[in-house]
Amino acid sequence: MTFSSEEVNITQLTLKYIIYGVIGIIISFWGAYLFIKKIGKNPRNILPINFAKRIQIPLLLFLIAIVIWIGKASKVFIDENFNYLASHLILILLVVSITWFLILLFKVFKRRLLSKYDVSKEDNLKARKVYTQFTILENIIIFILVILAIGITLMSFESIRNIGISLLTSAGIAGIIVGLAAQKAIATLLAGIQIAITQPIRLEDAVIVEGEWGWIEEITLTYVVIRIWDKRRLVVPSTYFIENSFQNWTRTTSDIMGTVFLHTDYDISVDDLREELTRLLKSTPLWDGKVNVLQVTECTEKSMQMRALVSSKNSPTNWDLRVFIREKMIKYIKENYPKSLPRTRIVLENNNS
């Protein structure tokens, strides 16, 4: 089998371009990588230090697409089938690399913005609000970018586009069935977006859901994860917080009031108990110094009920404060008013005639 001189020249030209292309990709890749890495070392720049490592794959895909595009534009590849495949390969590589790059840029922007807010401090209401908004917004943007990337890639294939058009024209009933089946999923997605906008819950909010008390740990477009006080995780669909009632203890502020109920006999001194409650609150850092109330709230034929209202900077601290007050008040009553604990009176009448 013999080849003409023209075919040999074209083949040699193609091989040379492939070799030069590979060399160009390597040089361009390492040049761009080192440049981005150097930028990340400067704290005044927006790019983080590890951004160069995270952008390696999309940068390499982008450079490969550029090299193939240059070769196709220069008519180095003479095979029509290869040119056809090269066109689709260029589009796929560009779409994937650009989408990947945009997602990484948004994550950098999110991290830079959230670095100004500290959720670990005591008054973290605004920080939790911003964290919640950007966490859900990040999921929405990534979802939209991925869907657009897949759509653009598939629409570039003529056969797939024609199949899609024929299916759309002949699948009216199937479309209705799929639409009804996807109603729940769409409602869940819309509920996630509504939570991001209206914010009935935020990250680290203290809530009571389905009788369980815990904190909002994660919010996605479709579900919410609640960290229960005993380390369990309660996963609830996003629609739950739109369609059902629940308790949010930190909706407007993180500080909270708690109650301690005491049952005693009628002969106890309520004023002494008020003084002891004040002394106990002042002796512990669990109290925030705002609310200190002791009142008789109920009377029965056997005892009277007193309610102590106490406040703390957040719900976990308030729980510890309520336990502390309950234990110390019971101890105080036992030591100072042992006969004033709840008791049942029996009166025996002497009917000697």
For 62-102, the DSSP string reads HHHHHHHHHHHHTT----HHHHHHHHHHHHHHHHHHHHHHH
Residue 276 burial (CB count, 10 A):
19
Distance of CA 344 to the CA centre of its chain: 54
The pLDDT profile of the chain, 353 residues, written as one tens digit per residue, is 444 444 444 455 555 555 656 666 666 666 666 666 666 555 555 555 566 677 777 877 777 777 777 766 666 555 566 666 777 777 888 888 888 888 888 887 777 777 777 666 666 667 777 777 777 778 778 888 888 887 777 777 666 665 545 544 544 544 555 555 556 667 777 777 788 777 888 887 888 888 888 888 888 878 899 988 788 899 998 888 888 888 887 776 666 778 888 988 888 889 999 999 999 999 999 998 888 889 898 888 788 889 898 988 877 788 889 999 999 999 999 889 888 877 766 666 666 55
Paired tokens of 316: 């976990």
Please say whether the dihedral angle defined by the alpha carbons of residues 66, 72, 75 and 76, taken in this order, is positive or negative.
Answer: positive
Side-chain half-sphere CA neighbours of 35 within 13 A? 7
256-340 — its CATH code? 3.30.70.100
Q: Report how far residue 232's alpha carbon sits from residue 248's, in angstroms, rounded to the nearest whole number.
A: 19
Please tell me the class of the 133-252 domain: mainly beta
- Residue intervals of the chain classified under CATH 2.30.30.60 are 133-252
What is the H or E stretch that residue 312 is in? strand 304-312
Paired tokens of 164: 């899609």
pTM: 0.47
CA-wise closest residue to 143 among 74, 79, 193: 193
Kindly give the residue spans of alpha helices, DSSP state H, lying in 218-353.
240-243, 270-282, 315-336
Paired tokens of 84: 């056809």
Give bridge partners of residue 225 from the DSSP assignment.
Answer: 218, 235
Determine the Cα angle at 255 with ends 254 and 260, to 5°: 135
Please say whether the dihedral angle defined by the alpha carbons of residues 149, 154, 157 and 158, taken in this order, is positive or negative.
Answer: negative
Which residues, 6 or more positions from 87, have their beta carbon under 8 angstroms from its beta carbon? Answer: 72
Q: Report how far residue 338's alpha carbon sits from residue 336's, in angstroms, rounded to the nearest whole number.
A: 6
Paired tokens of 30: 């390492």
Q: Helix, strand, or coil here: 228?
A: strand
Question: Among all chains, which residue has been given the structure tokens 């996807």?
Answer: 182
Determine the Cα angle at 305 with ends 299 and 307, to 5°: 135
Residue 344's φ and ψ, nearest 5 degrees, are -105, 125
DSSP 139: H
- Residue intervals of the chain classified under CATH 3.30.70.100 are 256-340
Paired tokens of 10: 């074209």
Q: Report how far residue 351's alpha carbon sits from residue 189's, in angstroms, rounded to the nearest whole number.
A: 79
Which residues, 6 or more positions from 322, have their beta carbon under 8 angstroms from its beta carbon? Answer: 258, 259, 260, 310
